[in-house]
């Protein structure tokens, strides 16, 4: 396929997600799947999420379109297309961010939902730039599931990493920190008290311990009620899952969600209006048995059902 629907900003991918049509110039769309094959490339041990988009697409062929437990058929009621991969060079932050933001804005201007396949967590910032410019930071809500806050300060020499996304977004005025919830934070950290740092910026942080104590479905339902009617940016870092079910991520942390808990969380979000869904941090070189890519494809499918429910409620 080619990326001609977005000019020279997107390029070929290895097939399309679950065989949906490739995006065509001027064609209608409710959802546009986009690959963002970018990572910062500075991780001391795990570089590979730049390969994530086509890994997830390839493994999506194992899925079937109908979910036994849910009504509806997003493939019949929504126009879902695959826009290929944004043309980026891993490690080259500024030009990559410009391209990612531009393609994201083009999809949003189509009144379609970008459903993106990362890439590491660094791909979120340019997508937030696009979403904030479309909807305004005062209206935009962010639900971020991740083992990490991605709200570390960084440094003057390295302001943009996959760990600084949300601090930069707040500094740029893209988001209201009080409308941004980080869920599932746990494990180890390169700095003391990352939760306190994030809360110091005004972010709400729900640790994995608190998430489980409150039941994941109940937390998701409360968020759906809280943000009902608002445009919601959903950021789903695959390291929210325990490495037992998703080993192929950039920075695995033990004690994460089970697959069943993750699926239950998404289903309990019914009532939100997703305007971007950002599924990131699948690293194929570390993906034992293709578990992470297969689970990521299923998470994308669950989000397609969620988008369908939002469109037709």
Tokens 């001027």 found at: 26
- Distance CA(279)–CA(115), nearest Å, equals 8
The residues with which 182 forms a beta bridge, in sequence order, are 144, 205
Domains and their CATH numbers in the chain: 4-312 (3.40.800.10)
In the predicted model, is pLDDT for residue 46 greater than 90? no
pLDDT of 143-156, one tens digit each? 999 999 999 987 77
Q: What is the rounded average pLDDT of the residues 241-254?
A: 97
pLDDT of residue 75: 98
In the predicted model, is pLDDT for residue 2 greater than 50? no
- Distance CA(35)–CA(16), nearest Å, equals 10
Strands 113-118 and 141-145: unpaired
ω before 119 within 30° of 0 (cis)?
yes
pLDDT of residue 229: 94
**Residue 157 token pair:** 């020499």
Strands 204-207 and 141-145: unpaired
Name, in order, each residue with C-beta under 8 angstroms of 200's C-beta and a sequence gap of 6 or more: none
- 0.85 surpassed by pTM: yes
pLDDT of residue 1: 41
- Distance CA(29)–CA(47), nearest Å, equals 33
Q: What length is written for the chain?
A: 313
- Distance CA(262)–CA(241), nearest Å, equals 7
CA distances in angstroms from 12 to 29, 36, 73, listed in the order given: 19, 12, 27
Asked if residues 205 and 184 have their Cβ atoms less than 8 Å apart, the reply is no
Asked if residues 113 and 274 have their Cβ atoms less than 8 Å apart, the reply is yes
The DSSP 8-state label assigned to residue 20 in this structure reads: P
Structure confidence at residue 228 as a pLDDT band (50, 70, 90): very high
């Amino acid at each position: 396929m080619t990326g001609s629907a977005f000019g020279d900003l997107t390029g070929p991918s290895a097939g399309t997600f679950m065989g949906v049509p490739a995006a065509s110039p001027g064609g209608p769309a409710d959802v546009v799947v986009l690959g963002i094959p970018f990572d910062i490339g500075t991780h001391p041990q795990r570089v590979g999420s730049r390969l994530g988009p086509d890994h997830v697409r390839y493994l999506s062929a194992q899925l079937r379109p109908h979910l036994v437990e849910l009504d509806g058929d997003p493939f019949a009621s929504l126009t879902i297309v695959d826009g290929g991969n944004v043309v980026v060079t891993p490690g080259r932050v500024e030009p990559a961010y410009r391209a990612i933001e531009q393609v994201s804005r083009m999809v949003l201007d189509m009144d379609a939902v970008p459903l993106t396949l990362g890439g590491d967590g660094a791909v979120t910032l340019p997508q937030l730039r696009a979403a904030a410019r479309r909807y305004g930071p005062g209206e935009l809500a962010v639900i971020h599931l991740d083992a990490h806050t991605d709200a570390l300060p960084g440094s003057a020499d390295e302001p943009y990493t996959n760990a600084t996304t949300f601090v930069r977004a707040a500094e740029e005025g893209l988001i209201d920190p009080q409308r941004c919830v980080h869920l599932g934070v746990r494990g180890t950290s390169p700095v003391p008290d990352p939760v306190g740092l994030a809360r110091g910026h005004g972010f709400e942080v729900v640790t994995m311990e608190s998430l489980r104590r409150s039941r994941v479905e109940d937390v998701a339902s409360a968020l759906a009620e809280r943000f009902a009617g608002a445009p919601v940016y959903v950021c789903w870092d695959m390291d929210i899952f325990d490495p037992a079910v998703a080993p192929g991520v950039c920075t695995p942390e033990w004690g994460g969600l089970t697959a069943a808990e993750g699926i239950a969380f998404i289903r309990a979000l019914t009532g939100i209006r997703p305007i971007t869904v950002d599924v990131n941090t699948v690293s194929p070189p570390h993906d034992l048995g293709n578990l992470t890519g297969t689970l990521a494809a299923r998470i994308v499918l669950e989000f397609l059902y969620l988008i369908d429910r939002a469109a037709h409620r």
